[in-house]
Amino acid sequence: MPLANAVQLIAYPNRIGRGLADLGDFVDLLGNAVGGIHLLPPFPSNADGGFSPLTHREIDPAYGTWADVERLAAGRDLCLDLVLNHLADDSPEFQDYLRHGRASPHAALFVDVDALGPIGPEELARIHIRKEKEPFREIVFADGTHGRVWCTFTERQIDLDYRSEAVYRLMADNIAALAGHGVKLLRLDAFGYTTKQIGTSCFLVEPEVWRILEWFRATAAGHGVDILPEVHDHPSWQHAIARRGMWAYGFALPPLVLHALSCGDARQLKAWLRMCPHNQITVLDTHDGICIPDAEGLLPPADLEALIQDVSARSASPVLRRQGDAVHSVGAIYQLTCTFFDALRRDADAYLCARAIQFFTPGIPQVYYVGLLAGSNDDALLRRTGEAREINRHYYTAEEAAGALHTPTVRRLLRLMALRSTHPAFGGTFELAYSADDALSMGWRAGRHSCWLEVDLRRRAAVLRHTDEQGRIVETRC
């Protein structure tokens, strides 16, 4: 069955209340405002906020059970992360590898760095890395011998070797198991790092990356599941993903919307709206922050730099991109760590305009739980953890989250979400109408139904005109 054309909520298993049962109670409060949920990893994990899974077959008992997950999937589309690039170093497979070395039945799962051939300064310089050191970890086997494995992210996350059939068997089993629990959409986390070829960037290496993605698309489709490959890079990647029948990510939208509202200029946003894929998942905020590479080539460099400087004044330290030969240098900005509400200076009208633009953009919109509750930067959590992205990952008690639903800004947002999730016009045709450079006019039509949005970017005011059940035009302000 196709995904419901309705708003999805992005949430951790334990940051609205104590666990999945509390999250389920909270989602029930949202009624028809949401038609799906993207549940961030609920699996046993030892690092990276759940993205270092020991297995995809179990739910961390601290969060709940598979029954709690299936409750979230009942009557809604459920998206789960398939962390396909790596396994936790505490996983049974890697622990067996440490005990038995190459004699382990799981040895083929992991990248033997020393078997890849010489990696000199020139080869290292090309590798796209995500931390302040080369992406290798030395390990000691039980017999005292040494080896090296690949770790793109933390030392606890051991990369898988996609030259091995054993990895595909593991992933096929994971996909089948997750589909059996009601998953409709799999977000393929960090898939771009699966292509390890010395002498290349080892990131999004073509054509190998497309062969890997096509295997995941076909395997998931065999279980009635769609895939959402996650990548931050030039916007051409999203077009290429969409052309291959997979869900693309509208990661360019957040910086384009921030630029339009901060400058009162919609020209670049409109240009993207004319050409963006329609089989996309749109976001303004995620657990990772506001991503920048996706807007490169869409916003002029000076405008992108001005946006970075503006939001950075209210952010934690940005996440950087580096290369293997310059691991301690300042790289290009990768992600801005800030809630979207704070990025817009906690201006409720601007925030509702941004959400309205997102909801009228082609695709299925996702709203991050902090954004749903118009949350501000959690500076205390940042100081406590030292992790920049935690500034946008507040822990809400069940009572705190339920109470936030009654604040004026969130009530306005919920009305807008309910309209987007239920109005029949959004199942029809998207239209972008002429408007001045400091305005935006866009809408949807299906038969006798229509839903239209007019945004005055300088006044930060948005007006909705939509048909009711009798086909009469109703006008409201966001």
Count of beta carbons in the 10 Å neighbourhood of residue 211: 11
**Is-contact 448 469, C-beta < 8 A?**
no
Helices 301-312 and 253-263: angle between axes, nearest 10 degrees: 90
Q: What's the token pair of residue 12?
A: 């951790």
Burial 286-321 (b: 16+ CB within 10 A, else e): bbbbbbbbbbeebbeeebbeebbebbbebbbebbeb
In terms of Cβ atoms closer than 10 Å to its own Cβ (0-12, 13-18, 19+), residue 406 is exposed
DSSP for 144-170, please give it.
Answer: S-EEEEE-SS-TTEEEB-TTSHHHHHH
Closest C-alpha among 268, 237, 235, 282 to residue 426: 282
Show Cβ contacts of residue 50 under 8 Å, excluding neighbours closer than 6 positions: 12, 13, 40, 41, 42, 43
Show Cβ contacts of residue 470 under 8 Å, excluding neighbours closer than 6 positions: none
Q: Could you give the residue numbers annotated as active site?
A: 189, 230
In 255-341, where do the E strands start and end? 280-282, 290-291, 319-320, 322-323, 333-336
**Is-contact 41 84, C-beta < 8 A?**
no
The alpha-helical segments, DSSP class H, found in 313-457 are 340-343, 348-360, 369-372, 379-385, 398-404, 408-422
How far is 174 from 19, CA to CA, in rounded Å? 23
